[in-house]
Amino acid sequence: MFDWLWRLLNYILSPFKTPTILIVGPPGSGKTTLLHMVKTGRFITFESTKSYCKETLSFEQSNVTFIDLGDSYKGFESLEEFSQNVSGIVLVVDASDSDSVNNAKKYLDSIYNLQVYKTKNIPVLIFGNKQDVVGCISREELKERLNIVEKKSKHEKVNPETTRVQVQMMSAKQNFGYQLGLRWLVSKARTV
């Protein structure tokens, strides 16, 4: 009975929420560069980030809190700890590096097992970064390698885990793709 009331209240207040987005991914995929792009609009490469960073930034006229786990949090154990109060997750993948893509599959499987993913229905945005690099895989190949299937007809069965997952190709270096993906994620995260 109260479920519909809670959803209505959540919908009405959603424009005023400050979503918290967790940024994860294999080392060297561009997590910190992405956060810097959102913050300044400029591309800068970073050395391996040793600690996590939490910042509340303005994105398209609203505040969003981002938590970049960096590379020192090697593990999937850290995901559960840091994901407790998030309303969305960004998985950044170096789509020009086969090892990064293989590692991203492990991250995605861990995300599917998070308690917050199972109970709060949080959205996941996968960025296929480094589209400016020769030999980078396509969106379709990345989806295939991560086992993400989109529903093609109303009778076709799909993996229920992938219905809240969006794949967006981007290049931080050439400044394209990340705004579109974050726009989708922030709009979904406000309703969590």
- 177 assigned to a ligand binding site: no
- 10 assigned to a ligand binding site: no
Q: Based on C-alpha coordinates, what's the Rg of the chain?
A: 16
- 30 assigned to a ligand binding site: yes
Token readout for 88 is: 């969305």
**Rounded CA gap, 143 and 189, in Å?**
22
User: Quick check: 120 and 84 in contact, CB under 8 A?
Assistant: no
- 68 assigned to a ligand binding site: no
User: Quick check: 70 and 50 in contact, CB under 8 A?
Assistant: yes
- 128 assigned to a ligand binding site: no
- 25 assigned to a ligand binding site: yes
Single-letter amino acid code for the residue at 88: G
- 135 assigned to a ligand binding site: no
- 181 assigned to a ligand binding site: no
Annotated binding site: 25-33, 49, 129-132
Annotated binding site for Mg(2+): 32, 49
Annotated binding site for GTP: 25-33, 129-132
